A and B are shown apart, each in its own frame.
Chain A
Amino acid sequence: MSIRDRAWFPIIYMFVITLLLSAVLILFGSATRQRVKNNERIAYERAVIQSLPIDLPARLSTSQIHQIYITNVYDTTEASAGALRYIKHDTLVGYALPIQGPGFWAPIKGVIGIAADGKTITGVSFYEQNETPGLGGEITKMEFREQFVGKQISQSGMPVQFRAATDPLDENSVHAITGATQTSNRLSRFLNEQLAIWRERITARQ
């Protein structure tokens, strides 16, 4: 009777194979752990910087991003109401408010940049999203994001209106993404909720 005919062989076999493959995965996983962590960190820092009014070269290396982030971006304080502060030459240039909420597939996380006046939006950027590529995923594209630049946070009601692509825009509205109604609606909901809360808190401070 060969070893392969024994009743315990399948169990041992499965066990050995699992152990072998898992060992390789764990090795590879821990070898890349630092890299993956850094990537996530950089994605966040890039989102913060992209949302702020900073003149940037077209391509920015990861070390440049990190450099700008650690020199100019400061933690949130009581007065900034939960937003990061962007300070250059000892003057406050803008705020970066992290926002997050449910998307169509999974949570969306991003940053809204607001000028020091607390009213003008200087940009938005997203560092974590799993929306459908080509549809909801378009929120990460320049065409969608640059619409926000220069918009005013409306001082009553919804801070930023999302309108259909055919509707005219005013100083506090942007176009939603055609074909990605769900992503647009969900983004609009949590973005406005969180921006409205920040608006209350920052006006109370000023």
Chain B
Amino acid sequence: MSFGSHMLHLVVILFAAIFTDNILLARFLGMCSFLSVSRQVKTAVGLGFAVVFVMTFTISLDWFAYRYVLQPYGIEYFRFILFIIIIAAFVQFIEMAIERYSPVLYQNLGIFLPLITVNCAILGASLFMVIRDYDLAEGIAFGLGSGIGWMLAIVAMAGIRERLNNARIPKGLQGPGITLIIAGLMALAFIGFTGVLSSR
């Protein structure tokens, strides 16, 4: 494959991960923080960036771990543990950094920052990288795209929910109920993207 067509291939993976195969709306991964940290656009953007960052880096770390530790010893079923530990350690590091440099953001994200560890999107992206046999460059493109796609979805959701503040919603439906319905409508919209691009 020539350099040009290889770059094009990577760009296709990137965009497919953002739109057509959106990890949140098409694959359901990373729902918890999507539903609970989407009240304000500002926090959503913060968390979104954190996810993009963590996902891109952990996917590369996981790639090395898989390729050079798990595969040579034939203990691929250990990947869950190894990946999640890499993610947990990385998130702990990010947490310390945010606490140090942006106390406001740290306060806003509150208990949800540790929950990035259990953000299924991040572990999920690494698992897909393994299943699909991506090389390092493809993996990074996929991680970056998935992160951006996740951020896009949560920021859009936060934007919609900010507008709902003054809407009259039935009592029982307030909060999670209406959020789920919006998520359903967004998922419906994203189905429209499928087939525009194919990652392979």
Contact = CB atoms under 8 A, between A and B. Distances in A.
Contacts of A22: 78, 81
B95 to A, nearest CB: 16
B75 interface: yes
A165 interface: no
Contacts of B77: 25, 29
A182 B190 CA distance: 13
Contacts of A10: none
A26 interface: yes
Interface in B177-200: 194-195, 198-200
A29 B75 contact: yes
A181 interface: yes
A22 B200 CA distance: 36
Nearest to A190: B200
A109 B117 CA distance: 33
B194 A181 contact: yes
Contacts of B75: 26, 29
A186 B200 CA distance: 9
Contacts of B78: 22, 25
Given A25-B78, A26-B75, A29-B77, A106 B194 contact: no
Contacts of B131: 105-107, 130
B168 interface: no
B64 interface: no
Interface string B112-141: 000000000000000010011000000000
Interface residues of B, number: 13
Interface string A176-201: 00000110011000000000000000
A137 interface: no
A85 to B, nearest CB: 30
Given A25-B78, A26-B75, A29-B77, A181 B200 contact: no
Contacts of B132: 102, 106-107
A185 B196 CA distance: 12
A181 B191 CA distance: 10
A185 B131 CA distance: 20
A184 to B, nearest CB: 11
A76 B58 CA distance: 43
Given A25-B78, A26-B75, A29-B75, A105 B195 contact: no
A182 B128 contact: no
Nearest to B132: A106
A22 B70 CA distance: 13
Nearest to B194: A182
Interface string A14-52: 000000011001100100000000000000000000000
A185 B200 contact: no
A102 B200 CA distance: 8
A186 B199 CA distance: 11
A194 to B, nearest CB: 15
B195 A181 contact: yes
Interface in A84-123: 102, 105-107
Interface of A: 21-22, 25-26, 29, 102, 105-107, 130, 181-182, 185-186
6 contacts: A25-B78, A102-B199, A105-B128, A106-B128, A130-B131, A185-B195
Interface of B: 27, 75, 77-78, 81, 128, 131-132, 194-195, 198-200
- 6 closest Cβ contacts across the A-B interface? A106-B131, A102-B200, A182-B194, A29-B77, A106-B132, A181-B195
Given A105-B27, A106-B128, A186-B200, 13 more contacts: A21-B81, A25-B78, A26-B75, A29-B75, A102-B132, A102-B200, A105-B131, A106-B132, A107-B132, A130-B131, A181-B195, A182-B194, A182-B195
